Structure 1
């Protein structure tokens, strides 16, 4: 098993599937040369704030006008980050990393990797331990965004294969692969998510011309339907925890939009949802959601956290371009960030939306099983008694 040297950091100007990342290294196992804490600066508070009580009415009026005219920003770390937590590098390689998904059954993080050079390749990596990853799937045909389906499989948006694909989790790789949808006319499926009712949504951005991008709805019948075509370059997407809103990042306008999800799974008219007041104009990419409904948007300098109402909650700065993010860990309170050639973890005090939903479904299942046991156990005793009585009658007839 060969070891990849840690590359220098590369700055990425957009969020399309990379065509020419760092060179491919043939390997069965990837190791990180070092794992360390990366300090995450806490923005300083305004030192003039303490003098506001003594300011004149005119000064206060001018200050109020300035505040109202200022762009909406979130200068501090979100309160959802654990106190004192910093970004911890858990993996690094020569690839551009994307599409992280945590599988609770195996207790592992899976993410996608894009290698360039003379022999470009794409893979899905499984993080076995800090600094140690195993190639779970080689030659993935450009699987970019991923998602844990309701039935415990890995959904993937396959850019170069023009497919939406589903994998079962095997110890050495996918135990089986299923094509859920395919269309060679699609540009390059980029990201995917699943709503609580089972409907699947995915983006197909037109990075080249920014004219024919689409967002699709895929139902259980296998038919993909266009539901959004008014976003120049739709990238990452996710539904609200209740499945009533679809959030989509626009890599062209460098902001995020929201769409109401109708009863039939399609969407109503969208609106601009979140646009941070920052000069950093790196393109929006992947996203995730926590149990409280807060959205975690990658792009524009790091990870922006917005409330369900579209208000800024906080900002997680990253040194590299952050392509995607997801919650994981046994308790669902670890945030994983794929940032160019690195993967980071960050301790949180809130669990991910998917983790909370799984716990709720598990609780309901246990409750149903308990109800059935309480209901059927007495009935079983009665039936057993009836059976014995019938057997006795049969024995008497034989006599």
Structure 2
């Protein structure tokens, strides 16, 4: 299966792809560039907006705006056709250390927004990251729901919403866990090892779940996107022409396209000139509509 380049975006860190069925467009972020991107299926055009802080993860909101995990909190952001971007702080966060930011995040099936934090200096390997949940109308600073993470990633929910997946992509960890998830309270419990990624190619990065309940995760450093069955068995691995795929998301008119964002590292890229691009795969399975934030 050949990956199709849909945009030579040259993103430093292309992350958090989200398909908008209403617009038939793919949104994603470039974290260090502080930019939100939108690619239209109809004409293949790309538009981007500049934010005031690093954008790390996004989710659509029911009112047409977006919720975003940035550097010092969660924000409501609204991109406009004229290229301007409005942002409003929804909830602040007290980080464990300076120089931290949000990383991976998305909504659960009930429309609550989850996002994790990390120390930007990954080389430090500090397990000071945490997972936070934000409910509509919530007041006050965010409270950690899960702690002791280094680089939280791979957040996803099963089709029925009763299983939450979460990974830690730091080289010293490289694990994916599954949790039982209380859909009434938004509480994960019963944490267990789902996949030990040291036994597979690539570090676990961003993820998606398909309509069959299988878990797709980018194998960062390996140029692969892996599909695991609900019992944690490797089902298949699809290649992309870059070393660092970052996150995947289902989209397209029939939700049968797997879009993959990627990272463009510094240095000689003669062996991967398309690094930082956005790719499309046709995996032969369909995805699920991404839940909107219930605001």
TM score, norm. by length of structure 1: 0.60
Structure with a larger share of its residues in helix: 1
The counterpart of 1:156, out of the listed 68, 91, 99, is 68
Instruction: Give me the CA root mean square deviation.
Output: 2.6
Residue of structure 1 in register with 2:266 after alignment: none
Q: Identify the residue that residue 24 of structure 2 maps to in structure 1.
A: 107
Shift of 1:173: 4.6
Return the offset for 1:93. 3.3
Aligned pairs for 1:311-322 (under 5 A) are 311-320=233-242, 321-322=244-245
| Mapping 1:61-140, distance limit 5 Å | 85-96=1-12, 97-114=14-31, 121-128=33-40, 132-135=45-48, 137-140=49-52
For residue 211 of structure 2, give the secondary structure of its aligned residue in structure 1: coil
Are 1:337 and 2:260 an aligned pair? yes
**Which protein shows a greater Rg?**
1
What are the within-5 Å matches in structure 2 for residues 1-399 of structure 1?
Answer: 85-96=1-12, 97-114=14-31, 121-128=33-40, 132-135=45-48, 137-158=49-70, 160=71, 162-168=72-78, 170-173=80-83, 176-185=86-95, 187-206=100-119, 207=122, 208-223=124-139, 224-252=142-170, 253-262=173-182, 263-276=184-197, 278=199, 280=201, 282-300=202-220, 301=222, 302-320=224-242, 321-340=244-263, 341-354=276-289
Alignment coverage as a number of residue pairs: 264
Q: 1:271 to 1:152 in 2, by over 3 A?
A: farther
Structure 2: how far apart are the matches of 1:350 and 1:174?
37
Q: Deviations over 1:139-175 (max 9, x none)?
A: 35111222234555433221x3x12123345434577
CA 200–255 in structure 1, closer or farther in 2 if over 3 Å, else same: same
Q: Which has the higher strand share?
A: 2
Cross-structure match for 2:267: none
CA positional deviation for 1:261: 1.5
1-structure distance, mates of 2:255, 2:232: 23
| Aligned equivalents of 2:133, 2:262: Cα separation in 1 | 28
How does the TM-score come out when normalised to structure 2? 0.79
